[in-house]
Amino acid sequence: MPSKKKRKRGLEKRSINKYSEKPADFDKLGSLYPTFQPYVFYSSDGRPRIDWTDFNATRELTRVLLLHHHALNWWIPDGQLCPTLPNRSNYIHWIEDLLASDIIPVIGTQVHVKGFDIGTGANCIYPLLGASLLGWTFVASDVTDVALECSEKNVKSNPHISELIEIRRVHFEEAKHKSESGNGEKSDFRREMVSGNLDSFHMQSEPASIELESSAKSYHGPPILLGVVKEGERFDFCMCNPPFFETIDEAGLNPKTACGGTPNEMVCPGGEQAFITRIIEDSVQLKQSFRWYTSMVGRKSNLKYLIAKLWGFGVTIVKTTEFVQGRTSRWGLAWSFIPPKRNTVPFNMVEKTSLNFSLEGLERQHSAINVLQSANSFFCSCSASCKLDVNSFHLDIIAASGHCDALLRSEAQNENGLAVWKGELESSNDSEHQESLLRLRISVFQQIPGTLLVKGSLQQRECALSGAFPLLFQKLEDHLKAEFCRKGPK
């Protein structure tokens, strides 16, 4: 077959996620692919189903979906991590949106989109999808012989895209030697994900390894990007499906699925928080070698820590999203050190226009009005425009990019800077400027005595700043819970 051409920038057509609205048709797939038919059964309501606890069934489903929808030949051995295709497709399409937004300018004169897959695994799913759907080129790294051999085989089984994907081996001994000579400290290679030649980079002034706070979970493995990215290489993005768990026992807690997975793929000391923190630390060294650094996050509770970590390292932008497929939720985290284009604000990537949380265990003197007044003070602290309606129990907020940035960074802006933003907000009639303003409504309802429901709603979904909505609402939740739900004496 003729080789697939790399797609040039500016010629991309927005691809469609085949699984976003309509799930896979097991009945149709079973009739088309005899090898899949034995795994299909019918429930009492007549719907075709498969046994998600059967690894062979989930592997065969992934195989026929890749063949049917993407014309890809694919296979993995028993026990290797079997990807859920809809979830992985969500991640690819989100990166497509990040690149298409053009918030972060293209690096140098690079013509074609180039990605880096951290720990591609035997399945090599992200490079296969990115190359087949979008013509992207990839470097895919991994550490075990099985993963490298199988991913290489999966690439070569698809000659129409094979030239777009490079499988890159990680060499432990060289990495250990270089990491010891680079920072004077020995590394614990219990999680040998990605490492290599530390001397091949133009290092920044920051230390090669940044210590985590004592309360945080520590990663004891080698750097993940440093030493694998070669000198002079530039990428549009990196992506990662990190090891979510701290122990193999924890990885097997879900009895309703059987996606396989080896300890190297699913487990590392400190779990995903420590692993992604190391990606962040490596990104501090590599800085603008990537337009976007990204990772999937399995636990929403880790997002707050990771986002705070990123702002502390001086990134220029942070983006998050939620991937929802069936009953499974994952989150995407992206950041960059490249200054955004001037007068460009983050574009719309928000998944939900309405969010809520409960304030429980409130003392008698704390009413809905008190909560609204506190929310009003929270947003006014950055000089956003706020209008409190005590009769309807809601607060309307209009915020510009600078207001959102000040709240998310939790840093005080200088007085003149705030005045400039406030003046723009009140005086500008420019339609483009108005479209870039974030408009929120915060409402408070009493559920039962001692419990209030706080609801946030995005008033304009197409707003360029709508991606900041879930982050701001999380900040507001933290602020209100700290004030009203504190246990013990204040």
The predicted-structure confidence for 181-196, as pLDDT tens digits, reads as follows 444 333 332 233 332 2
Contact partners, residue 262, CB within 8 Å, separation at least 6: 79, 80, 81, 144, 146
Fold of 354-484: TATA-Binding Protein (3.30.310)
pLDDT the model gives residue 239: 96
Whether the per-residue pLDDT at 262 is higher than 70: the answer is: no
The pair of three-digit structure tokens given for residue 122, joined into one six-digit string: 């035997």
Does 396 carry a binding-site annotation? no
Tokens 């990190």 found at: 242
- Residue 271, annotated ligand binder? no
Mean pLDDT computed over 460-467? 74
**pTM, entire model:** 0.63
For the chain, give every residue range classified as CATH 3.40.50.150: 26-336
- DSSP annotation of 212: P
Choose among 252, 249, 245, 250: nearest CA to 267.
Answer: 245
Regarding predicted confidence, which is higher, 199 or 155?
155
- From residue 271, give the alpha-carbon distance in Å to each of 202, 218, 263, 283, 369: 29, 9, 12, 19, 41
Q: What is the mean pLDDT of residues 334-363?
A: 74
The superfamily in CATH containing domain 26-336 is Vaccinia Virus protein VP39 (3.40.50.150)
Query: What is the average pLDDT across 115-132?
Result: 95
Contact present, 196 and 139 (Cβ < 8 Å): no
Closest CA to 8 of 109, 107, 112: 112
| Predicted local distance difference test score (pLDDT) of residue 41 | 93
* DSSP β-ladder status, 114-118 and 137-142: parallel
Sequence-distant contacts of 336-340: CB under 8 A, at least 24 apart: 336/104, 336/290, 336/291, 336/292, 336/293, 337/283, 337/287, 337/288, 338/104, 338/105, 338/107, 338/288, 338/291, 340/103, 340/104, 340/316
* pLDDT attached to residue 469: 86
Annotated ligand binding at 54? The verdict is no
Residues 400-423 have a mean pLDDT of: 52
CA 372 to chain CA centroid, Å, is: 31
Is 119 annotated as contributing to ligand binding? Answer: yes
pLDDT at residue 268 in the model = 65
Place of tokens 């993995």: 76
Give the number of other Cβ atoms within 10 Å of residue 388's Cβ.
17
How far is it, in rounded angstroms, from Cα 202 to Cα 231? Answer: 8
Considering the chain, tell me which residue range(s) the CATH 3.30.310.80 domain(s) occupy: 354-484
Asked which of 38-52, 308-322, 435-449 is least confident by mean pLDDT, the reply is 435-449
